[in-house]
Structure 1
Amino acid sequence: MSPQSRFLFLLGLRWFPVGLLIPVLVLLPLERGLTIAQVGAAAAVQGIVVLVLELPTGGLADSIGRRPVLMIATGINLVSAGLLVVADSMPLFVLVYLLQGFYRALDSGPLEAWYVDSALAADPKADIETGLSRSGVVLGLSISGAALAGGGLVALGPWTLGSWRISALTVPVIVSFVLVVAGLVAIAVLMKEERPAKRGVSWMGDVPRAIGGALKLVRRNRVIAALIAVELFWGFGMVTFEQLTPVRLSEVLGGADKAAALMGPVGAAAWAASAAGAALVPLLVRLIGPRWAGFTMRILQGAAIAGMALIAGPAGIIVAYLCCYTVHGASNPVHVGLLHRQVDGPWRASLLSLNSMVGQPGFAIGAVLLTAIAASAGTPAAILTGAVVLAVAAPLYLVGRNSRTSSTVEFQQVA
């Protein structure tokens, strides 16, 4: 197999177990006795861990190699998945999300970096861009198909093995665990990596310098600061459609099992809608420009989320949810593109990592506050609050509209 084929296969195997859990990840702890506020607090742990470790673990992958870091990450994910099968208390679910935080931080980047290294080592003129673009297709199809399969597994009902009864919501978790085992074996077999004797990463020097350089850019460039702030608000608002939508549907449909079964095909359709939204980005940017595109996306996504809160019937909630994901798929390339246009130099990757990291505390804060609001004032009130917070960041896309020249000067000053 070529490096690209191995990369795409491993990527699909990495994301399929994630898609299986989409219909049940929030509903399962509720079935096992946790409150919605406790679920939010447990999920916040993952965001905090990723926030702390994302940049340092990138340095670790450069230091000891992509393959060992990815194997360590997948091993941690295996323990987390196994624990999720049996977790039935708040401390155990906190431990699940703690391990997931370590896994997500370690898993962020090494597989893609390994593919680029391997492809260029085999052919310095290799078309790596095609492989990277195909990875987006594989990721979307994997999650979409897995979410559909997860909902189908729930719909088939509980399993009975002798005297052991496995609830319908637990079935996708068990299948996900088996696939994580397969993923670990596939990494060991398919990832071939030759490491040089020494690597040029110093934990006491290079990594802190990269983080410091990115922070200086944020401090000295008001456009970058505004975009980073958008990511913070965006992370807060994402709690509405990633965690609260299944709860909202369960309330409308009158049961967690019904909502989980429905979230399978709905989740699959949402990822397809996200891909469609991303495909519309070039046309939208040509028509109104990237900054106004970002502004428009934030307003439209906030309106779609508000629709999920205000519409009473399941059909209307699902339509609003799909509209939200369509806009979500278009928003990310616009946002990242604006960041790329603001910096040229050695801290580009660190700046993008910093942008991603800011979304983690935003999500963690949202998980705690919005689930608390859901517990006290109802799920619609929590979703509406998240919609307002997400949309209020829209004007930040219009900060420094003519700043490309000044940003280059500021970069030179930082350098």
Structure 2
Amino acid sequence: MPADLATTAPLTARAAAGRYALISFLAWLPAGLMGAPMVLLMLQRGMDVASVGLVMAIHSIAVVSLELPTGGLADVIGRRTTIAASAVFALASLLLMGLATGFGLFAIAFVLKAVSRALASGPAQAWYVDTMHTIDGPDANLKPGLARGASMSSIALCGGTLVGGIVPLALPSSWSFGPLVPLSVPMLLAAAAAAVQFVVTLVAMPEPPRRRASFAHVLRGVPIAITGGLRSGLRERAITRLLLVAGGVGVVLTSIEIFTPSRLQDLTGQPESAGMIYAVVGAIGYAGSALGSALAPLAARVARGSRRGAIIGTCVTAVSLSILAASTPLGGTLGIVLAGLGYVTLYLGCGISELLRGEMLHQRATSAERTTLLSVDSLLLQAGGAVAAAGLGWVAMHLGLATAWWITAATILATVVLFPRTKPSRRTPAPTAAPQAAPEPVGAQA
């Protein structure tokens, strides 16, 4: 494809926002499509819960290792090329995941997925901000476009989860084509979505003119960025405590993603039926997360402060996990209802606490260190997920699912002591025109 194919006409602010929203939708659609059948497919291939947890731990560790280096890579090869490369890795990962028949192939698929995830972390938003600054200057109004992109991400996750759960149920349970089974089909649909993202990225995302760093400069800058982020986090105790909460959130999200599908499979007795129920519950869960985010300002007002509001949200999350743990001996419709109730209220609580935690972090971070601190926050989230995937998988296998969920509930409840009592310090807030990184949709851990 000619290099200037995507730059034949200048973009307007409205067109840039529309293309950013489209890319955001396509970036998260594969994650939605694969969400419901992912764990169920691995279980159907003969893996146990501990092996599933180990595969997801490998994924989290790979993302942690690649998060900062791939962020610098976008400055060398460009935002558009980085996003396109992410789509290629996602395509390869999803195809292999649909065809995988054992632990080794799934592990490779999840490493490829981690590369895609790390490459996709940030360049689309950076492209939009760069484009808007080129169109309207440094005072460009970024909020409408960023909000539109976040909304489209949630829509993609919600709709994709429903489709990913419905498709296997629509196929006969005896249907197979070589290694393909009904639960494999959503993976192939997700791969097709990644292919569409690749084409749209190359055609619809002209690269704004900017200065690119040399590859050697990026290599030198990676360790500086890591140590700088850690130094920024440790310099003020309140920031350190807020960042540590991310590890607990990672434990919660990963435990839910690993154990909920297997729990529903135990309740229904059929992988395809479990996938459909999980798809519905998952879609409602994303809606609960969005509702929690919308209710966060009200929670802060009622609780008389963001700290107390975040603690309320965290307690709701812990209670929800307790419901899940207490319902494990139950079966039938009551078990399914309680599992769904715990799942949805968990995301409602996370939506409240995470928005308010983000606000408290932004209040204490300077403009210069904001992006680095958000990268450290993402690393700790993934690190918590890696610990949960490896450790809680073993606990569930040997001590029972209820024990794993009780431990998760205790972990997130313990984080309430980390929310700082002190008011924001002398740190200068970012200028109004500077973008704040839009948080990933709660629940999109994998």
Q: TM-score, normalised by structure 1?
A: 0.93
CA distance in 2, matches of 1:194, 1:172: 35
- Shift of the 391–163 alpha-carbon distance from structure 1 to 2, 3 Å rule, reads closer
Matched, 1:6 2:19: yes
- Shift of the 160–147 alpha-carbon distance from structure 1 to 2, 3 Å rule, reads same
One-letter amino acid matched to 2:189: V
Tell me which of 46, 49, 62 is aligned to 2:59: 46
Contact 2:306 2:356 in 1 (8 A): yes
CA shift, 1:110, in A, is 0.4
Residue by residue over 1:82-136, the C-alpha shift from the partner in whole angstroms, topping out at 9 and shown as x without a partner, is 1011101111111011111111111100011101111221222542210101112
Secondary structure at the aligned position of 2:183 is classed as: coil
CA distance in 1, matches of 2:387, 2:176: 43
Matched, 1:31 2:44: yes
| Match in the other structure for 1:411 | none
CA distance in 1, matches of 2:29, 2:424: 40
CA distance in 1, matches of 2:195, 2:72: 26
Residue by residue over 1:230-263, the C-alpha shift from the partner in whole angstroms, topping out at 9 and shown as x without a partner, is 1112211222222211111111222322211111
Matched, 1:373 2:387: no
User: Where do residues 7-406 of structure 1 align in structure 2 (5 Å cutoff)?
Assistant: 7-124=20-137, 125-158=139-172, 164=178, 166-196=180-210, 198-199=212-213, 202-288=217-303, 289-311=305-327, 312=330, 313-397=335-419, 399=420, 401-405=421-425
CA distance in 2, matches of 1:44, 1:385: 18
Contact 1:143 1:271 in 2 (8 A): yes
| Match in the other structure for 1:413 | none
Aligned CA-pair RMSD: 2.0
| Match in the other structure for 1:412 | none
Contact 2:16 2:131 in 1 (8 A): yes
- Shift of the 178–205 alpha-carbon distance from structure 1 to 2, 3 Å rule, reads closer
- Shift of the 75–165 alpha-carbon distance from structure 1 to 2, 3 Å rule, reads closer
CA distance in 1, matches of 2:154, 2:352: 14
Secondary structure at the aligned position of 1:333 is classed as: helix
- Shift of the 62–198 alpha-carbon distance from structure 1 to 2, 3 Å rule, reads closer
- Shift of the 99–110 alpha-carbon distance from structure 1 to 2, 3 Å rule, reads same
Secondary structure at the aligned position of 2:364 is classed as: coil
CA distance in 2, matches of 1:192, 1:382: 48
One-letter amino acid matched to 1:58: G
Contact 2:161 2:282 in 1 (8 A): yes
Contact 2:286 2:347 in 1 (8 A): yes
Contact 2:175 2:181 in 1 (8 A): no
Contact 2:99 2:179 in 1 (8 A): no
* Structure 1 unaligned residues grouped into runs of 5+: 409-415
Secondary structure at the aligned position of 1:402 is classed as: coil
Contact 1:157 1:167 in 2 (8 A): no
Contact 2:134 2:208 in 1 (8 A): no
One-letter amino acid matched to 2:282: G
CA distance in 2, matches of 1:307, 1:366: 19
Secondary structure at the aligned position of 1:280 is classed as: helix
Secondary structure at the aligned position of 1:362 is classed as: helix
Secondary structure at the aligned position of 1:361 is classed as: helix
Which region of structure 1 is more displaced relative to structure 2, 242-251 or 203-212? 203-212
Overall identity of the aligned pairs, in %: 31
CA distance in 1, matches of 2:382, 2:175: 40
Secondary structure at the aligned position of 1:192 is classed as: coil
One-letter amino acid matched to 2:354: N
* Structure 2 unaligned residues grouped into runs of 5+: 1-10, 429-446
Residue by residue over 1:175-202, the C-alpha shift from the partner in whole angstroms, topping out at 9 and shown as x without a partner, is 1111111111111111111444643882
CA distance in 1, matches of 2:175, 2:277: 25
- Shift of the 360–169 alpha-carbon distance from structure 1 to 2, 3 Å rule, reads same
CA distance in 2, matches of 1:163, 1:50: 32
One-letter amino acid matched to 1:32: R
- Shift of the 159–314 alpha-carbon distance from structure 1 to 2, 3 Å rule, reads closer
Contact 2:311 2:353 in 1 (8 A): no
CA distance in 2, matches of 1:372, 1:35: 10
- Shift of the 161–402 alpha-carbon distance from structure 1 to 2, 3 Å rule, reads closer
- Shift of the 392–346 alpha-carbon distance from structure 1 to 2, 3 Å rule, reads same
Which region of structure 1 is more displaced relative to structure 2, 200-209 or 96-105? 200-209
| Runs (4+) off by over 6 Å | 159-163
CA distance in 2, matches of 1:320, 1:163: 37
- Shift of the 304–115 alpha-carbon distance from structure 1 to 2, 3 Å rule, reads same
CA distance in 2, matches of 1:393, 1:163: 48
CA distance in 2, matches of 1:272, 1:185: 30
Contact 1:159 1:165 in 2 (8 A): no
Aligned length: 406
